[in-house]
Structure 1
Amino acid sequence: MDALFSRLFASEEQELFFLDCMAYFMVFMAGGTLVALLFENVPYGRYASSRYGFPVNAKLAWFIQEMPALFVPLFLVVGTSPAKTSKLPNQLLIGMYFCHYVHRSLIYPFLLRGGKSTPFASFILACVFCLYNGYMQIRYSSHYAEYPADWVTSPCFIAGSVLWLVGFLVNVHSDHILRNLRKPGETDYKIPIGGMFEYVSGANFLGEITEWAGFALASQSVQSSAFAIFTTVVLTSRAVAHHKWYHAKFEDYPKSRRALIPFLF
């Protein structure tokens, strides 16, 4: 695998430049996505549409589309000679990333109960994004990211790690609440209750945004920052759409509940 990278890039400086370009392009795409989402919701889940291709089973779609985000990074760590994985800061950052995607790809899909099918176009775009981002995050963290020896005790790393952990726990707990809203055989939508859903309609989205914001703060890289920005754009739009949808569907929806940020927005 190292020989392949040597053929693709004339030097490590060239690959690092490429990784930086990937990050800046992701920020550019976040801007384009922001504009697009002003006119239409991301077409999956309750907003799925046949205009975007034939439906793919929800469990199968989640399992397959998240696989590149786990196995490409795993291959990069195991199948190459990563120069920085012996360093504690890099190990912890890589561990944060893998913790999320082990859950998202190997656990979350098999806990789903029902769920609307995913349009093929949305499924393919998710696969491409996971491949793109998985390579960008872990290749940088395992091969190029440089940190001082005391980075793990720095305020940025400590604050970012705490944010990541809080976000991860909120995300997992919120998904648990959503899965258990319906009894066996029920298909109708219900108002989420408990946890951060007492304060916001998009508790699961708030958790994931917080995760990657914390990861970016702990990492201090353009790659992690680009991922956090893109995640924030997509999930903020989805939280707002859910909030409006809940208010339109349920007359008794809590008036004090915000879309994404407790008490504010």
Structure 2
Amino acid sequence: RRYWECLFIERPSAHARIHVGHYVVGLTYYLVTKDAFAVRHVLAMLLFAYATVHQHRCHRILAQLRPAATDTAYRVPHGDWFHHMSSPHYFAELLIYTALAIVLRMPPVWCCLLVWVTVNLGTTATNTHRWYRRKFDDYPAHRTAFLP
């Protein structure tokens, strides 16, 4: 959100400059607090970004299957992770929750949440997968329901 505001909301002066003292203190802070920011944070952020991008792509693919609100036809989604799974947007959701759990060091409540998300979305994905296979004779046989 903050980056978006910097790009599209703020109108800084063309002559505005950061004071060298602020710059040095800011860099020093991140160097001194390196233990607070571990490799797992970087990996979790990368996983979060990766899953978010794919979830967005999958949602767009699903939205494009019905170009008009009056269109009632069902179609088989293709592209991105749909090559491997029937409900890849659910798998991406699980990865997003996993990334958050990694950042939080997997407290018990997050472990329970991950189990719930896996069971809930996995069940829904399995039902969707079965429906696709019944509805479309040419549905790709190699696709899994939820997990690659």
Find 2:139's aligned residue among 239, 250, 253: 253
Deviation track 1:49-107 (CA, whole Å, cap 9, x = no partner) reads: xxxxxxxxxxxxxxxxxxxxxxxxxxxxxxxxxxxxxxxxxxxxxx8xxxxxxxxxxxx
1:166 aligns with 2:50: yes
CA distance in 2, matches of 1:228, 1:161: 17
CA distance in 2, matches of 1:259, 1:209: 14
* Structure 1 residue ranges (4+ consecutive) displaced by more than 3 angstroms after TM superposition: none
Deviation track 1:104-161 (CA, whole Å, cap 9, x = no partner) reads: xxxxxxxxxxxxxxxxxxxxxxxxxxxxxxxxxxxxxxxxxxxx75232x23222222
CA distance in 2, matches of 1:211, 1:237: 18
Q: Which residue identity lines up with residue 125 of structure 2 in the other structure?
A: A
1:155 aligns with 2:39: yes
Which residue of structure 1 aligns with residue 81 of structure 2? 196
Give identity over the alignment, percent: 25
Q: Is the 8 A contact 1:209 1:232 kept in 2?
A: yes
CA distance in 2, matches of 1:217, 1:207: 15
CA distance in 2, matches of 1:212, 1:218: 10
TM-score normalized by structure 2? 0.70
Q: Is the 8 A contact 1:159 1:218 kept in 2?
A: no
Post-superposition shift, 1:176?
0.9
Q: Please report the RMSD computed on the Cα atoms of aligned residues, expressed in angstroms.
A: 1.8
Q: How many residues align?
A: 115
Find 2:111's aligned residue among 218, 225, 235: 225
Higher-helix-fraction structure: 1
CA distance in 1, matches of 2:84, 2:114: 22
Post-superposition shift, 1:232?
1.3
Unaligned runs of 5+ in 1: 1-94, 96-147
CA distance in 2, matches of 1:257, 1:156: 31
> SS at 1:178's partner residue?
helix
Post-superposition shift, 1:188?
1.7
CA distance in 2, matches of 1:232, 1:176: 23
Unaligned runs of 5+ in 2: 2-32
CA distance in 1, matches of 2:43, 2:142: 29
Deviation track 1:208-233 (CA, whole Å, cap 9, x = no partner) reads: 01100111011113333332222111
Q: Which residue identity lines up with residue 255 of structure 1 in the other structure?
A: A
Structure 2 vs 1, CA of residues 172 and 254 (structure 1 numbering), >3 Å: closer, same or farther? same
> SS at 1:150's partner residue?
helix
Which residue of structure 2 aligns with residue 180 of structure 1? 64
Q: Which residue identity lines up with residue 179 of structure 1 in the other structure?
A: A
Q: Which residue identity lines up with residue 127 of structure 2 in the other structure?
A: A
Which residue of structure 2 aligns with residue 40 of structure 1? none
TM-score normalized by structure 1? 0.41
CA distance in 2, matches of 1:237, 1:164: 23
Q: Which residue identity lines up with residue 121 of structure 2 in the other structure?
A: L
